[in-house]
């Protein structure tokens, strides 16, 4: 187990290095540069700015400096927002995205497991049909439609009640988070429900469930102890990638609900060619995702001993 | 006397036993893998229905623009943000004439302080008001909604600092419909007081004869008289915020969205098949190396890199942004297929029929073409079908956040993005493209499910 963990961590570090390099290469092949805007008015000012951001050095030296500062955990200074550290931007806006993402994953996992188990228990009966119809809807409707509809619904509910039940947009309190998180988690919830259903159906027909029934265990105990626990295993594996899609998928939800998350900053930075912010955010996100996937893998090995043996 | 070990044999013993013909014959006609798959797919009603939807969508994109010949970029300034089925009639009036400020003879007779000075039209709304005691001035507001107690008056149009009666002609961006004009009394400091009067005004659409001729709304030879009703251009699904025909834009958007959604997955699945089968077939260290590289590409944060690549490939003037998006999709999405195909190839290599074929002297190329490719084709086809909704989602997502196709190119995603701004007042601009995205994704997902059940024995879903 320890050897496996160390191997995964080592692989993770190399992956993060690859992400950093890919970002660097991508950013340096962009036509135009961040100084071509109004700030570099004269050649002298331009030279000074290039000096400050290290853009006048040879590309390999820039690369070495870039990797070196990443190792120190320093992502540099923003090009467009004067004297603002990229670290500060991340520190300020990432918690917002992360809170939203964690809440969305929680909704998706809890709802998915619950609905998936329900559909398997009521297979080919009304609850199954209804939930599977909703699942197909959840997979097929783009998140921005859910976001727009969710907002429209909130406006109408608030109008109908005459007071603000839940805020329509913005950020700050738990009330602000509920609907965006639900919208964000919707497609993952649908996916988890589907997975849970098929995994549950497989387990219901397995030998040990028949044994459990034969020795007279009550149905509730079979459900919680044997069926649910074993059926959840495949769900855990998709949670790692799900966190990835949910945190980046948050862009749209952040846009529609006016949430000051990192996604909005990233899009803005790309439009303004803010080199340091783009590179910092991408590498940070990449590192975050790699860490999440490794954690989920290790968690899986801990939950399911069969994986550990291999 | 010795008993013979074998009893005496008679010629009858050597006649063949009765042959049961029925066990040798084929009870059903033999079916190949693909015939069987087609047969299974045809029995799956959901998959078949989605196949028809896909065919319908392709027809909508390819044949639609030939039948509905409306330029998707043409702006109909008379009909902006019109819902489907909105009133298209317009009454012909004389060209605009300046107004003296005196109520005209045609003005409707009304009670109250604030009155109409002339028949209201979408050309101009003319208001007159009487002096109110104690007023130092008046402010006129216009609103699209009724004025309830405590609600806003709407758009302030003009301040008149004169205590006597006055008049005002509103020609500001008038649309056919209902307006609520409010006259609010100002005190001597020019501040609004709580004395006001509101008048509801129905504004009909009018058009001058010159405009009718210019836009070719009626045949050349038709005579027109004042007061005649003409009909503006027909938009079956309404118009967007620039007055462009939604149906025509949906059709040209379908071309863009389906092109990206079908061609990009085809390309990256092809790349994945080549990469994965090469790795799987060669094996050894090169395989390890190639798959490690694929793992790295998988680890890249997908949407962030999609956005980055969109910028890297750059958009020159007049470009639509379709090609950069395709390149970015291909560069980032191939590893999943590569992994899958490699696994398949490794598995098939172990199969007994490959060894048998080798024993019979089959060459490598024969093995690849005759056994490996046909046996992975089913899985690849299923992957491809599931890749289409993914690519359509990605395109819609990127266009929605404004990093996708560049205007004026329409795609379903960019149309949804534009529709979001007017969602509260004109929901049809968001709903139609969203409906098409959902329908396409749904159809390809169900088709993928059906294909998987038909083609892949191992992955057949539990029912």
**8 Å CB contact of B434 and A273:** no
Domain for residue A7, yes or no?
no
Find the closest chain B residue to A250 by CA distance.
B303
Contact A180, A147 (CB under 8 A): yes
Distances (CA, A) of B202 to B89, B147, B181, B272, B461: 15, 15, 11, 63, 60
| Residue A260, domain extent | 86-309
Best residue in B149, B301, B450 to probe A by mutation, most A CBs within 10 Å? B301
Provide the pLDDT confidence category of residue B385 given band limits of 50, 70 and 90.
confident
Query: Does the structure show a pLDDT above 50 at B270?
Result: yes
Q: What is the pLDDT of residues A22-44, one digit of tens each?
A: 888 887 777 666 665 555 567 77
**Closest Cα in chain A to B460:** A198
Q: Report phi then psi at A46, rounded to 5.
A: -60, -45
Rounded to 5°, angle at Cα B27 from B22 and B28: 165
Chain A CB contacts of B438 below 8 Å: 137, 140-142, 145
Q: Given an 8 Å threshold on Cβ–Cβ distance, is A140 in contact with B438?
A: yes
Nearest to A19 among B299, B309, B310 (CB): B299
The predicted-structure confidence for A198-244, as pLDDT tens digits, reads as follows 888 888 888 888 898 899 888 888 888 888 888 888 887 777 777 77
Q: Are residues B363 and B264 in the same domain?
A: yes
Q: In this structure, is residue A92 part of a structural domain?
A: yes
Q: Tell me the nearest-neighbour CA distance from B183 into chain A, angstroms.
A: 27
Q: What is the DSSP letter of A85?
A: B
Distance CA B284, CA B349 (A): 14
- Whether B314 and chain A come into contact, CB under 8 Å, resolves to yes
Q: With an 8 Å Cβ cutoff, is B57 touching chain A?
A: no
Q: What residues contact residue B185 under an 8 Å CB cut-off, 6+ apart?
A: B132, B134, B135, B137, B138, B192, B193, B195, B196
- Do B148 and B280 belong together in one domain? no
pLDDT class of B462 with cuts at 50, 70, 90: very low
Q: Are residues B273 and B392 in the same domain?
A: yes
Partner A contacted by B396 (CB < 8 A): yes
How many domains are contained in chain B?
2
User: How many angstroms separate the CA of residue A145 from the nearest CA in chain B?
Assistant: 7
Q: Which of A142, A256, A282 sits opposite B434 (nearest CB)?
A: A142
CA quadruple B269, B270, B273, B279: dihedral, nearest 10: -110
Higher pLDDT, B34 or B56: B56
Closest CA to A141 of B369, B353, B396: B396
Instruction: Give the CA dihedral A225, A230, A235, A236, nearest 10 degrees.
Output: 90
- To test the contact with chain B by mutation, choose from A134, A205, A251 the residue with the greatest count of B C-beta atoms within 10 A, namely A251
Answer yes or no: do B101 and B62 share one domain. no
Mean pLDDT in runs of 10 for chain A (310 residues)? 82 86 81 60 71 72 80 74 77 84 88 88 82 84 83 80 71 76 86 86 86 88 84 79 73 81 79 79 84 80 66
Output b/e per residue, B140-179; b: 16+ Cβ within 10 A.
Answer: bbbbeeebeeeeebbeebeebeebeebbbbbeeebebeeb
Is residue B329 pLDDT above 80, yes or no? yes
- What percent of chain B clears pLDDT 90, i.e. is strictly above it? 2
Longest C-alpha distance within chain A, in Å?
87
Q: Chain A contact for B315, CB < 8 A?
A: no
Q: Are residues B173 and B273 in the same domain?
A: no
Q: How far is CA A2 from the centre of its chain?
A: 27
Sorted by sequence, the CB contacts under 8 Å of residue A300 that are 6+ apart come out as A233, A236, A237, A307
**Residue B249 domain-assigned (yes or no):** yes
Q: Among the three residues B208, B232, B263, which one is the final residue of a domain in this structure?
A: B208
- Same domain for B167 and B253, yes or no, is no
Q: Say if B219 falls within a structural domain.
A: no
Asked if B437's CB is within 8 angstroms of A142's CB, the reply is yes
CB contact under 8 A, B301 and A145: no
- The residue whose two tokens read 């190396």 is B289
Residue B257, domain member (yes or no):
yes
CA distance A25 to A112: 39
CA separation for the pair B337, B275 (Å, rounded):
9
Instruction: Provide the chain A residues 43-72 that lie in CB contact (below 8 A) with chain B.
Output: none
Query: Do A267 and B427 lie within an 8 Å CB cutoff?
Result: no
Identify whether A78 is part of a domain: no
Kindly tell me if the per-residue pLDDT of B2 is higher than 80: no
Final residue in a domain of this structure, among B154, B183, B208: B208
Angle between the N-to-C axes of helices B373-400 and A143-161, in degrees from 0 to 180, rounded to the nearest 10: 40
Q: Residue B38 domain-assigned?
A: no
With tokens 């993770």, the residue in question is A12
Round to whole Å and give the CA distance between A167 and B160: 39
Model ipTM over 0.95: no
- Condensed to tens digits (0 to 9), the pLDDT of residues B147-189 reads 765 667 777 888 887 777 788 888 777 777 788 888 888 888 7
Rounded CA-CA distance B306/B304 in Å is 5
For residue B367, the enclosing domain spans 48-70+242-459
- Contact in structure between B154 and B142 (CB atoms under 8 Å): yes
Q: What is the mean pLDDT of chain B?
A: 80
Residue B288 included in any domain = yes
Q: What is the pLDDT of residues B93-139, one digit of tens each?
A: 778 888 877 777 777 777 778 888 888 887 888 888 888 877 788 88
Chains A, B: CB contacts under 8 A, how many? 124
Distance CA B101, CA B373 (A): 84
Confidence tier at B267 by pLDDT (50, 70, 90):
very high
- pLDDT, average across residues B338-364: 86
Same-domain status, B276 and B360? yes
Interface of A with B in 223-282 (CB under 8 A): 244-245, 248-249, 251-252, 255-256, 266-267, 270, 273, 278, 281-282
Number of domains in chain A: 1
**CATH for B376:** 1.10.3720.10
Look up the CATH number of the domain holding residue A266: 1.10.3720.10
From the list A249, A267, A290, the residue facing B299 with the nearest CB is A290
CA distance B182 to B155: 10
Residue of A20, A144, A183, A206 to mutate, interface with B, max B Cβ within 10 Å: A144
Q: Does B309 touch chain A (CB under 8 A)?
A: yes
């Amino acid at each position: 187990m320890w050897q496996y963990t160390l191997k995964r961590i080592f692989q993770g570090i190399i992956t993060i290095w690859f992400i950093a390099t890919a970002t660097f290469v991508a950013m340096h092949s962009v036509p135009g540069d961040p100084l071509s805007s109004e700030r570099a008015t004269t050649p002298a000012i331009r030279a000074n700015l290039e000096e400050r951001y290290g853009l006048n050095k040879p590309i390999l030296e820039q690369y070495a400096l870039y990797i070196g500062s990443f190792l120190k955990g320093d992502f540099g200074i923003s090009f467009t927002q004067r004297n603002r550290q990229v670290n500060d931007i991340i520190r300020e806006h990432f918690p917002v995205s992360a809170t939203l993402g964690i809440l969305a994953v929680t909704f998706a996992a809890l709802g998915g497991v619950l609905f998936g188990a329900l559909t398997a228990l009521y297979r080919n009966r009304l609850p199954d049909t209804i939930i599977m119809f909703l699942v197909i809807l959840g997979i097929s409707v783009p998140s921005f439609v859910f976001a727009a509809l969710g907002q429209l619904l909130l406006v109408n509910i608030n109008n109908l009640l005459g007071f603000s039940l839940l805020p329509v947009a913005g950020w700050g309190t738990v009330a602000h988070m509920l609907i965006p998180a639900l919208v964000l988690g919707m497609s993952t919830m649908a996916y988890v429900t589907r997975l849970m259903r098929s995994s549950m159906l497989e387990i219901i027909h397995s030998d040990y469930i028949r044994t459990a029934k034969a020795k007279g265990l009550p149905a509730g105990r079979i459900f919680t102890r044997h069926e649910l626990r074993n059926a959840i295993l495949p769900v855990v594996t998709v949670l790692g990638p799900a966190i990835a899609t949910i945190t980046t998928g948050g862009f749209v939800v952040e846009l529609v609900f006016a949430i000051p998350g990192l996604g909005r900053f990233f899009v803005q930075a790309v439009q303004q060619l803010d080199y340091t912010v783009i590179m910092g955010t991408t590498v940070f996100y990449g590192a975050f995702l790699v860490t999440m996937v490794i954690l989920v893998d290790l968690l899986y090995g801990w939950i399911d001993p069969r994986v550990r043996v291999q | 006397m010795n008993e013979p070990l074998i009893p005496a044999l008679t010629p009858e013993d050597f006649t063949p036993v009765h042959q049961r013909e029925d066990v040798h014959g084929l009870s059903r006609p033999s079916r190949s893998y693909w015939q069987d798959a087609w047969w299974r797919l045809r029995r799956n009603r959901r998959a078949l229905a989605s196949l028809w939807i896909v065919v319908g969508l392709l027809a909508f994109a390819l044949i639609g623009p030939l039948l509905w010949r409306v330029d998707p970029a043409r702006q109909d300034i008379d009909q902006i943000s019109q819902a489907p089925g909105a009133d298209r009639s317009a009454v012909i009036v004389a060209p605009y004439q300046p107004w003296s400020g005196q109520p005209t003879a045609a003005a409707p007779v009304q009670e109250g302080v604030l009155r109409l000075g002339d028949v209201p039209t979408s050309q101009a709304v003319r208001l007159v008001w009487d002096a109110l005691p104690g007023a130092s001035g008046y402010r006129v507001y216009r609103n699209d909604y009724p004025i309830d107690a405590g609600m806003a008056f709407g758009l302030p149009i003009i301040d008149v600092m004169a205590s006597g009666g006055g008049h005002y002609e509103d020609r500001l961006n008038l649309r056919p419909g209902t307006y609520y004009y409010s006259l609010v009394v100002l005190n001597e400091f020019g501040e609004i007081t709580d004395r006001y009067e509101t008048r509801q005004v129905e504004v009909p659409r009018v058009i001058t004869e010159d405009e009718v001729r210019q836009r070719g709304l009626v045949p050349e030879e038709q005579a027109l008289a004042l007061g005649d009703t003409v009909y503006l251009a027909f938009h079956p699904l309404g118009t967007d915020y620039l007055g462009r025909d939604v149906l025509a834009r949906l059709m040209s958007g379908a071309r863009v969205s389906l092109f990206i959604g079908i061609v990009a997955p085809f390309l990256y699945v092809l790349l994945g098949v080549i990469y994965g089968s090469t790795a799987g077939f060669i094996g050894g260290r090169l395989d390890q190396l190639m798959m490690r590289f694929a793992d790295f590409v998988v680890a890249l944060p997908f949407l962030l890199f999609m956005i980055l690549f969109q910028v890297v490939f750059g958009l020159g003037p007049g470009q639509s942004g379709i090609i950069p998006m395709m390149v970015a999709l291909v560069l980032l999405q191939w590893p999943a297929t590569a992994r899958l195909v490699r696994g398949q190839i490794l598995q098939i290599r172990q199969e007994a029929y490959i060894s048998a074929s080798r024993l019979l002297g089959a060459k490598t190329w024969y093995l690849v073409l005759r056994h490996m490719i046909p046996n992975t084709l089913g899985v690849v086809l299923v992957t491809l079908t599931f890749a289409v909704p993914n690519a359509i989602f990605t395109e819609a997502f990127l266009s929605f956040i404004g990093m996708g196709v560049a205007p004026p190119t329409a795609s379903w995603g960019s149309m949804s993005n534009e529709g979001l701004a007017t969602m509260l007042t004109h929901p049809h601009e968001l709903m139609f493209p969203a409906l098409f995205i959902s329908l396409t994704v749904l159809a390809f997902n169900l088709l993928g499910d059906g294909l998987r059940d038909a083609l892949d024995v191992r992955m057949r879903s539990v029912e």
